[in-house]
Structure 1
Amino acid sequence: MLESGANTISFAGHVASSSQFKALYAEGMALVEETASYLDGAGRLASKSLPRMSSVLYAAESMRLTTRLMQVASWLLLQRAINNGEMTREQVVSEKKKVRLDSFNVDRNAPGWSDLPEAFRDLVDRSVRLQNRVSILDREIYRPSEVPAIEANNQNSVQAQLSLLKTAFGGQ
């Protein structure tokens, strides 16, 4: 990324208002709809036949999945609002403070992960890839001075298990 200056072109800003953004927006909203449909239908049925450990993992990952997608959808809607002139950049920056794009990683090595339905695991993987793409675009548009950090998609196994237990049993 070029240093910001009077003659610098913002490629990320251009992407955010281009047909590429429209495709990203459509992809994000379609994934939200597909996930909701799956979780209310086939996913609900499939989760009833899972072993206990996988059932707890499914419940925790379902919450993370829906939260991740709602955060991404919120960002996409804000960006669309600025692109359409419905909000100013300042308004979007203020509202964007409520959006979290940097969390909800997945531990694919967690006990029971391989027992989860393949369609569910696919939705999780696609949502993480979408979240990463939106997060990179967000950094490039709104925080260009920051160097993009490479984040692993997996947490430390112990941290992941503690997080799952907290989620499953409502711990702090």
Structure 2
Amino acid sequence: MSELGLNTISFAGRVAASSQFKTLYAEGMSLVEETAAYLDGNGRAASKVLPRMASVLYAAESMRLTTRLMQMASWLLLQRAVNNGEMSRDQVLAEKNKVRLDGFNVDRNAPGWGDLPEAFRDLVERSLRLQNRVALLDREIYRPNEAPIVPDNQNSVQAQLSLLQTAFGNN
């Protein structure tokens, strides 16, 4: 390891064990609950009156949205278990292999996207931002030697700013 690496402080490791993590955890779980309530209530009603193309897109995106949120909730629960001493880091690493935090991007130019209910699109956007924050934190904690994967719509400076925002709670 280089001399620089020996003096490097892992902000992500500190975030994962801090009050900022509790805030991230609460935000993630709240978004899961809010999304479930929307999809079972207003979203169900709104989806029934969508044009055909938007209706098909709504069905596909709602499945992606719930999958994305469940993956993030799984990661947050695993990290909370480590923080609380309920699981060892090795146990979490074994379970974490089942969690997928990357690859759930959305094509906002897809036919019918503009016809989707605004509340639904807002949930999708918020879930993507939260996914990005969790994925950045995951890479910094568990895979610090890997180059960060930066979404198409974000540059590396924005990715680092997102990590800092997560670390210091400035959402």
TM-score interval, smaller chain: 0.7 to 0.9
Count of residue pairs brought into register by the alignment: 152
1:58 aligns to what? Answer: 58
- TM-superposed CA distance for 1:17, in Å, is 0.7
- 1:1-172 equivalences under 5 Å are 4-5=5-6, 7-152=7-152
- TM-superposed CA distance for 1:152, in Å, is 1.8
- Map Cα deviations across residues 70-105 of structure 1 (whole Å, 9 max, x no partner): 000000000000000000000000000000001111
> CA 1:68–1:86 in 2, change beyond 3 Å: closer, same or farther?
same
The letter for the 1-side match of 2:101 is L
Q: Distance in 2 between matches of 1:107 and 1:3?
A: 40
Asked if the contact 1:139/1:146 (under 8 Å) is kept, the reply is yes
> CA 1:95–1:63 in 2, change beyond 3 Å: closer, same or farther?
same
Q: Distance in 2 between matches of 1:33 and 1:4?
A: 40
Q: Distance in 2 between matches of 1:19 and 1:25?
A: 10
> CA 1:3–1:145 in 2, change beyond 3 Å: closer, same or farther?
farther
The SS at the match of 1:123 is helix
The SS at the match of 1:45 is helix
2:160 aligns to what? Answer: none
The SS at the match of 1:103 is coil
In structure 2, list runs of 5 or more residues that go unmatched. 154-171
> CA 1:3–1:92 in 2, change beyond 3 Å: closer, same or farther?
farther
2:164 aligns to what? Answer: none
Q: Distance in 2 between matches of 1:127 and 1:11?
A: 23
- Residue identity (%): 79
- TM-superposed CA distance for 1:147, in Å, is 1.5
The letter for the 1-side match of 2:149 is A
- TM-superposed CA distance for 1:8, in Å, is 3.6
> CA 1:42–1:16 in 2, change beyond 3 Å: closer, same or farther?
same
Q: Distance in 1 between matches of 2:115 and 2:104?
A: 20
**TM-score w.r.t. length of structure 2:** 0.86
- TM-superposed CA distance for 1:9, in Å, is 2.4
